[in-house]
Amino acid sequence: MYAAEELSEDAFLGGRLSLLQPRTGFRAAMDAVLMAAACPARAGQSVLELGCGAGVASLCLGARVPGLRLTGLELQARYADLARRNAERCGLPLEVFEGDLAAPPSALRARSFDHVLANPPFFAHPGSAAADPGREAAQREATPLAAWVATAMRRLASGGHLTMVLRADRLPDALAALGQGAGSVTVRPIAARVGHSAGRVLILTRKGGRGAFRLLAPFVMHAAPHHLRDGEDLTDAARAILRAGAALEW
């Protein structure tokens, strides 16, 4: 469990949520909020987040869509504890399991969900380790991306949706991992500015879906063509998601 001095209190969705995160460990930010905004969940449905960390994505989704049944799976005990604490602070019903997504707890394996969220580690290959072990575990792939996708698909009910956010260079691996078990795949690149290459991609797929693959126009985060000054220059669409908790349109 983190001590109070190890934590910061961070505002999300324009201050609608105030969440605890480690000062020096892995810290969720834009990617978690975008993934939550991209999930097409409706009131009364069930949602599982794989690798939920401190619960930021699940709680942002719960703040946008009332009446969801939220569940998280987290490998690192201190982050799982933070997710539970954050859910209690927000008054949102997030049940958090501690365990490895490659071998989930039996109680979780017995359940299926309408939606699964996943923000797998960014880095697939060995490199310089982060100084903080929690940050290193969250960002450096130990479980292959294909295993993340396989676990997500097993936990989805028929017709359920998987929503993922990834670095853009992981898109080929993700599409290969989805294989024949998913359909109606839609990809939304995320670009910092107009004319810039996408740094992230959002993927939405449906278990058993039969729709054609769709590659959408990029979602652009910043309004100015290049960095002009310190301060926020979000596009109206990005501001609506990050500050007002709006949904991302597919």
Q: What is the pLDDT of residue 225?
A: 78
Task: Tell me the residue type at 240.
Answer: A
- pLDDT at residue 122, rounded to an integer: 64
Hey, is 44 helix, strand or coil?
A: coil
Domain 4-244: CATH class, spelled out: alpha beta
**pLDDT tens track for 42-83:** 999 999 999 999 999 999 999 999 999 999 999 999 999 999
Round to whole Å and give the CA distance between 40 and 150. 20
Report residue 223 as tokens. 């309004």
**pLDDT on residue 179:** 86
pLDDT of residue 41: 98
Cα–Cα distance for residue pair 102/148, rounded to 1 Å: 7
List the chain residues with pLDDT less than 50: 128-130, 132, 134-140
pLDDT digits over 36-50, tens only? 999 999 999 999 999
CA–CA separation, 229 and 60 (whole Å): 29
pLDDT given for residue 135 in this prediction: 43
